[in-house]
A = this chain, B = another copy of it.
Amino acid sequence: MIHINENFQKLEAGYLFAEIERRVKEYAALHPAEKIIKLGIGDVTLPLPPATIKALHEGAEEMARAETFKGYGPYEGYEFLREAIAASDYRRFGLDISPDDIFVSDGAKGDCAYFHEIFSQDIKVAIPDPVYPVYADSNVMAGRSGRAENGRYKGLIYLDSLEENDFIPNLPKEEADLIYLCFPNNPTGAAATIEQLKPFVDYAHEHKSLIFYDAAYSSFIQDGRYVRSIYQVPGAKEVAVESRSFSKSAGFTGLRCAYLVVPEECCAFDKDGVSHQLKKLWFRRQSTKFNGVSYPVQKAAAAALSPEGLKECEALVKYYLENAGKIRAFFEKMGFSCTGGINSPYIWINSGRDSWEFFDFLLNKAQVVTTPGAGFGRCGAGFIRISAFNSHEAVDEALTRLKKLF
């Protein structure tokens, strides 16, 4: 008799965004005439930058001719793309990351959800709270936790991100082996400085731990005091992998391309304490389970990193940051305490009440979809996340409607 993975039974309700989608669909079915404005899921709305469209067409043309046709690509991504990433996302900012340490993937969600596979079943995992649900859910599915109690899985270590610590969590009190961090943060919108991240890097050195640094929103950093990359922190290369995505910087949520940096310095240990390069383990994992990213998409990603593409991507980011600034200013004016929205597309708002209740209130009264903070963890209770990913017109309309509520 075939048995299910009982760890799935531990998972709380549906995946957050699936639950939101369900509530929105239900509302829309009951009120077909009303126009819903989505400021919930962090999904971009502007069309792809022209440089990437051009590359997509070129990629399609190459696939149309035998002489330029591309079959299976390298498991780790084409060299032209890994070179472009090393140059534009790292060397341009004075960081020395080798193209050989870069693994191109079809999404940061997968990189976040899969990376734990190369580690032992009994490692201790620390995640911030609130947090993007994928870090916790993927480790729960893998059996690294007990059931949830009060919104927290037993066996996981939670790092509270609160107003009182500027949403930069304190170090784990228990011994943590794998620590997920995300800045600019999803959902709080908080960015971090070198000084704020240094203690995590030092902790990882001291405890031979590893940091999974999710920098999916790094292109939103406008203020040089905050880091774009964990590798700006001295000593990070030995203890941190970094996940980045083209989803938010270049609008690739529907096109699918991301990458993971696994520096050759990063190691984990076997039972005898012998160190093993993570890069080799990750390559083994990727070559066994993955066959690379669609070729035209890799071409488009490289184009997003060309001088022309970078300019167009910066314009996209600026556009969304204008929205973010307006949303934050509005809620602050209404008397709410807010974080993010400056170096981040997310505004994290202390609603002063239950967050699903506030979510339903905004959906029912203003037809505005947000994301309830409770969906991101216990410390998110009472907050909502508003996303700046929409048109200026939609955001203006949403704020006009919201004005009537407060």
Contact = CB atoms under 8 A, between A and B. Distances in A.
Interface of A: 1-6, 8-9, 11, 14-15, 17-18, 41, 43-48, 50, 53, 56-57, 59-61, 63-66, 69-73, 75, 106-107, 109-110, 113-114, 117-123, 133-134, 137-138, 141, 143, 177-178, 207-210, 251, 253-256, 268-271, 273, 276, 281, 284-285, 287-297, 391
Given A123-B2, A270-B3, A109 B289 contact: yes
Contacts of A5: 117-121, 281
Contacts of A295: 254-255
Contacts of A43: 71-72
Contact of A107 (B48, B66, B269, B290): B290
A269 B110 CA distance: 27
A143 B121 contact: yes
* Residue among A1, A110, A290 with most chain B CB within 10 A: A1
B114 A284 contact: no
Contacts of A75: 18
Contact of A63 (B56, B121, B288): B56
Given A4-B268, A121-B5, A141-B288, A66 B45 contact: yes
A292 B109 CA distance: 10
B255 A63 contact: yes
A69 B390 CA distance: 12
B72 A47 contact: no
Contacts of A119: 2-5
Closest 8 CB pairs of A and B: A3-B120, A113-B289, A56-B60, A43-B71, A70-B254, A2-B177, A1-B208, A71-B253
B293 A256 contact: yes
Contacts of A14: 284, 287
Contacts of A271: 3, 6
A197 B177 CA distance: 47
A291 B107 contact: yes
B288 A120 contact: no
A288 B121 CA distance: 19
